[in-house]
Structure 1
Amino acid sequence: MLTELSIKNFAIIDSLQVSFESGLTVLTGETGAGKSIIIDAIGLLIGGRGSSEFVRFGKERAELEGLFTIHKGHYIHDVAEEYGIEITDDMVILRRDISANGKSVCRVNGKMVTISALKQVGSMLIDVHGQHENQMLMNDENHILLLDQYGSNNVSTELSSYRHIYSDYKNINEKLKQLTHDDQQMAQRVDLLQFQINEIEKANLMPNEDEQLMEEKQKLLNFEKLHTALQVSYDALTSDGQGLDAIGIAMRHLEDVSQMDEKLKDFSEIVSSAFYQIQETTYSIRDYYDTLEYDESRLNEIEARLNEIYVLKRKYGKDVQEILQYCDSIKEELDTLTNHEEHLIQLQKELSTVTNKLFASGKKLSKLRQQVADQLKNAIMKELKDLHMDKAIIEIAFDNNESQTVESVHFAKNGIDKIEFLISTNPGEPVKPLAKVASGGEISRIMLALKTIFSQHQGLTSIIFDEVDTGVSGRVAQAIAEKISKLSSGSQVLCITHLPQVAAMSDTHLYISKHEKEDRTYTKITSLNEEEKIKEIGRMISGVEVTQLTKEHARELLQLANKLKASS
């Protein structure tokens, strides 16, 4: 769950630090006080799109930081390990700084990460649900994603298999497309490949040749230094009275007395070992010295060869090995182009085989989805019944049928299905697309139903609702309040609301206000006690003036909420 949130220099917020508790926390306040700005800040903290416009006017950067506590078995541990992030004491700290030039710096537990990594980690911790998600529900292209999310245990394996085959299907189609280019383009490509192959083969490159030549070049360039160093070393080791002679004298004397004392025996063995090692090295120095030969013409040859290889590196690869690999790959392409008809026939055979496999996988995937669709439909209708939409009928329509053939089906990344959620909200009316039938309040309830269902599958630590109760009142508002409260028993829920019924069900009530100081606007957050909570709920009921009657109404709402929570 989100336990601490720190916001600095963000929009109208100068500096704000707030602690969150488990259960249901509601945020209320006057319009424009900054409630949604706090949710925006959380959205950016978990990888949302940033902008310099979020930085408070006159400040260099906005700073966002959140502390999350997780349970030991949470699957975020696997992702953290993948990114090299350490998690200790079951705590995750997300931080994001947005500078006035729009650049972001993101960190997870102190380790700098990309925005995509922050988003991946953040999506496992918290789910921000605002009114824009109702728009997502209205777009039927997203319905297949919602269905797959619900049925991930049954669908994910076959979907992964389908996508693997689909990747092969796309690759073969791309190769066929390249083979069917017009003759002029193909002839130009053949000429280019033939030129490149000839240029590389003419050089007669050997693996690692460039490295070996550089090594030989360095020896020739440093000939004088090597020659002198080896000569002096050899002379020092072989001169009379020093070097090996001196060590040999010490060795013989120590051998004479080594039996007198164990320590002397150790000294004798060490000196003897050193003598024979130095003697062997001396011979090696002499042999290496004898091989030294300065050849200016050879140095010129090496320079010319390295220059030739350098020209090829600029065109075809960073080293000789990469150039040779490139040559092999364009030989294959040239063979494909020059033997156009044979390769075309072969690719068409491969495409036919892959298409049949893809069709079979798509049909299997579709069958699994239809089973999941029945379960999801029943689950949604059960939740809607609790939200006073018991007359609603949900259907999940598939735009395919058993008579589909491999020739008629349309293959896409997510399968052969086109899926759409249909609804009828009134008895006797046929089901129609959501966008054409459902009102704003109904869409909010459908989305809340889906969130209730999906929260049981996602393992999220926190869920945020940003004014999802818009467009409802009365007993529907009470039903939404009870549903959100029930949802908070399994996950921490933060909710911006204008409904007194939802506020009454809260375990923690935070009031957001703003004030002006020296011509600047500041946002303040206050945790309300019982009396303050009654007053605020009274304001939500009456609008402006809080009378004794509205306070009594607020007190009744709180008493009802406490009874409902105690009985659940």
Structure 2
Amino acid sequence: MLAELSIKNFAIIEKLSISFDKGLTVLTGETGAGKSIIIDAIHLLVGGRGSSEFVRHGEEKAEIEGLFQIDDLQHPVYAKALEFGIDIEEGMVILRRDISRTGKSVCRINGKLVTISTLREIGAVLVDIHGQHEHQELMDETKHLPLLDQFGGEEITSSLEVYQELFRKYEQTRQKLKALSENDQQMAHRLDLILFQFNEIQKANLKLDEDEELMSEKRKLVNFEKLFEAFQLSYSALNGEQKGLDWLGMAMGHLENAASLDSTYKDLYEAVSNCYYQLEDAGRAIRNEMEVLEFDPERLNEIEDRLNEINQLKRKYGKTIHEILEYAAKIEEEIETLQNKETFIGELEKELSSIEKDLALEAKQLTELRQKWARKLTELIHKELKDLYMEKTIFEIRFETDLHHFSKTGSDYVEFYISTNPGEPLKPLSKVASGGELSRIMLALKSIFSKHQGVTSIIFDEVDTGVSGRVAQAIAEKIYKVANNSQVLCISHLPQVAAMADNHLFISKNIKDGRTTTSVRKLQEDEKIKEIGRMISGAEITDLTRQHASELLQLAVKYKKT
């Protein structure tokens, strides 16, 4: 859930810090107090489009920061964070966005700088915002099929995964066949090119790690004089009268005498003795290196020429010898394919035909599952709409299925249709629903989908506009129902919704030093009655209004218990 929200120098908000709790939080207040500005801030925090206009007048930048507490380790935000290399510790995700007066945004997630697109992807699994005119999932018919698949859960997901694995194989085979079926002139040019490349690599007779071995040999030749001098001086320091081994031999002799007098010194004698013989071996090795070390300018030229040849191939075919050889193996396979094109085309056509048959069977099974879940979803939506006093509304999920046409999602095109008035034909949802109807349809769907979506916080920004009476009460109950599965923040002008709140925040506008500021206060029980009374009657609150407000709160408590 969204646990903390901090806003600074954003629109009319100078500085604001809000703590949120689980369940349903309702934000109320006079028009223009800044309720929607708080939602705008959250929208920007999760990747919404920013603008310098959001920066408070006279300030350099606006700052928005939100703390999300994620207790479920299976929440999709963990997979998203892993994808972008972001660490989540103790279930805390902190989003931060700064917008400068020039319009530039700086985004951070758990302290790590990220792009706006990354912020948007992470934000999408944390917050779902719905405003009066923001019903994208409902209005966009391309989202209807994913919503249905989401509702179908594991059964559709499993079937879709099997289909998509086969579809990937189908697309790969189709692309290979398409490439081979291109005009002969292009194929001939391609064959000439890769034959030349293959022969050039083969002629070079490359060996793995050859370049590293050559570089090592080159360093020895280039530094011949320094190496010889180092060996000569080190050998001279060890061997000869009054040199290292001579002195060490004397020490070994004296310790041998000591050990013969007292056996406790035997280990000390053996330690020095071992060092003597090791250094003696090292001295012989140094002498051998001096004897074989020689400067060969012709060999150095050979190495330079070979390294130059290898570097030329690296520029063309890969950064390492391993990559060059891999490329050669790849084009060798392509050469064989192009030289035997007709045979390969025949084999690919047979393979594609076989895959198409299997794909059609998987697509058919996927369609049947979707139709089964579509019937269940339709039944549930009708029930939810009936609760919202839209019992005359007919909802239908229409399928257009072509089992000879395959896409990544199957062979189905799905769209939600609706008729809100008896006798009227079913039409696409986006073309017939009024604002109030759309709000109720959206709530009906959210009541169903909130269990499946896994979104941490759902925000409703005045989605209850244009309704009243028993419909308002039904909407309040539905919003509360959604809050059972996800934290809900709701801006509302309906007293019924405010009465249903687990937490009621009052937003007010004040004048401070000649500037407008916004403040937030959590209401206690008596303050709730006063605010709900104001929402019922306006400015003047009578005893009857208070009684009505108190009754609404009592009814809400009773509803929650049941």
- Same fold flag (TM > 0.5): yes
2:135 is paired with a residue of what secondary structure? helix
| Corresponding residue for residue 412 of structure 1 | 407
Question: Percent identity, aligned pairs only?
Answer: 60
| Corresponding residue for residue 511 of structure 1 | 506
2:391 is paired with a residue of what secondary structure? coil
| Corresponding residue for residue 497 of structure 2 | 502
Aligned counterparts of 1:276 and 1:129: Cα–Cα separation in 2: 84
The Cα of 1:46 is off from its aligned counterpart by 3.0
Q: Does residue 368 of the first structure (1) align with residue 363 of the second (2)?
A: no
Q: How many residues align?
A: 561
Deviates more, 1:107-116 or 1:489-498: 107-116
The Cα of 1:391 is off from its aligned counterpart by 3.0
Deviates more, 1:340-349 or 1:117-126: 117-126
| Corresponding residue for residue 464 of structure 2 | 469
| Corresponding residue for residue 205 of structure 1 | 206
Question: Superposed, which structure 2 residues align to 1:274-293 within 5 Å?
Answer: 274-293=275-294
Aligned counterparts of 1:375 and 1:28: Cα–Cα separation in 2: 37
Question: Superposed, which structure 2 residues align to 1:177-256 within 5 Å?
Answer: 177-256=178-257
In structure 2, give the amino acid aligned to 1:182.
N
Aligned counterparts of 2:46 and 2:259: Cα–Cα separation in 1: 75
TM-score (norm: length of structure 2): 0.90
| Corresponding residue for residue 386 of structure 1 | 387
1:399 is paired with a residue of what secondary structure? strand
Aligned counterparts of 1:70 and 1:135: Cα–Cα separation in 2: 26
1:418 is paired with a residue of what secondary structure? strand
The Cα of 1:350 is off from its aligned counterpart by 2.1
Per the alignment, do residues 88 and 142 of structure 1 end up closer, same or farther by CA in structure 2, a change over 3 Å counting?
closer
Per the alignment, do residues 524 and 285 of structure 1 end up closer, same or farther by CA in structure 2, a change over 3 Å counting?
same
TM-score (norm: length of structure 1): 0.89
Aligned counterparts of 2:510 and 2:536: Cα–Cα separation in 1: 23
1:384 is paired with a residue of what secondary structure? helix
Aligned counterparts of 1:41 and 1:517: Cα–Cα separation in 2: 22
Deviates more, 1:334-343 or 1:48-57: 48-57
Per the alignment, do residues 154 and 112 of structure 1 end up closer, same or farther by CA in structure 2, a change over 3 Å counting?
same
In structure 2, give the amino acid aligned to 1:505.
M
Gaps of 5+ in 2: none
| Corresponding residue for residue 154 of structure 2 | 153
Deviates more, 1:547-556 or 1:457-466: 547-556
1:211 is paired with a residue of what secondary structure? helix
Aligned-residue Cα RMSD (Å) equals 2.9
Match of 2:448 among 445, 453, 466: 453
Aligned counterparts of 2:555 and 2:62: Cα–Cα separation in 1: 42
Aligned counterparts of 1:80 and 1:373: Cα–Cα separation in 2: 33
Aligned counterparts of 2:104 and 2:179: Cα–Cα separation in 1: 40
Per the alignment, do residues 312 and 395 of structure 1 end up closer, same or farther by CA in structure 2, a change over 3 Å counting?
same
The Cα of 1:491 is off from its aligned counterpart by 2.9
Q: Does residue 482 of the first structure (1) align with residue 483 of the second (2)?
A: no
Per the alignment, do residues 61 and 283 of structure 1 end up closer, same or farther by CA in structure 2, a change over 3 Å counting?
farther
Aligned counterparts of 2:467 and 2:550: Cα–Cα separation in 1: 21
The Cα of 1:414 is off from its aligned counterpart by 0.7
| Corresponding residue for residue 326 of structure 2 | 325
Per the alignment, do residues 276 and 173 of structure 1 end up closer, same or farther by CA in structure 2, a change over 3 Å counting?
same
1:498 is paired with a residue of what secondary structure? coil
Aligned counterparts of 2:261 and 2:100: Cα–Cα separation in 1: 79
Q: Does residue 96 of the first structure (1) align with residue 91 of the second (2)?
A: no
Aligned counterparts of 2:326 and 2:80: Cα–Cα separation in 1: 35
Question: Superposed, which structure 2 residues align to 1:81-92 within 5 Å?
Answer: 85-92=86-93
The Cα of 1:351 is off from its aligned counterpart by 1.5
User: Contact 2:132 / 2:435 at 8 angstroms: preserved in 1?
Assistant: no
Aligned counterparts of 2:144 and 2:400: Cα–Cα separation in 1: 12
| Corresponding residue for residue 531 of structure 2 | 536
Aligned counterparts of 2:230 and 2:397: Cα–Cα separation in 1: 85
Match of 1:524 among 495, 519, 527: 519
Aligned counterparts of 1:107 and 1:426: Cα–Cα separation in 2: 49
Q: Does residue 316 of the first structure (1) align with residue 317 of the second (2)?
A: yes
The Cα of 1:121 is off from its aligned counterpart by 4.2
The Cα of 1:322 is off from its aligned counterpart by 1.5
Aligned counterparts of 1:101 and 1:239: Cα–Cα separation in 2: 79
Deviates more, 1:111-120 or 1:465-474: 111-120
The Cα of 1:178 is off from its aligned counterpart by 2.2
Deviates more, 1:535-544 or 1:287-296: 535-544
1:511 is paired with a residue of what secondary structure? strand
2:412 is paired with a residue of what secondary structure? coil
Deviates more, 1:40-49 or 1:146-155: 40-49
User: Contact 2:240 / 2:246 at 8 angstroms: preserved in 1?
Assistant: yes
In structure 1, give the amino acid aligned to 2:307.
L
The Cα of 1:444 is off from its aligned counterpart by 1.2
1:312 is paired with a residue of what secondary structure? helix
Deviates more, 1:523-532 or 1:305-314: 523-532
Gaps of 5+ in 1: none
In structure 1, give the amino acid aligned to 2:502.
D
Per the alignment, do residues 145 and 244 of structure 1 end up closer, same or farther by CA in structure 2, a change over 3 Å counting?
same
The Cα of 1:429 is off from its aligned counterpart by 4.9
Aligned counterparts of 1:100 and 1:202: Cα–Cα separation in 2: 62
| Corresponding residue for residue 13 of structure 1 | 13
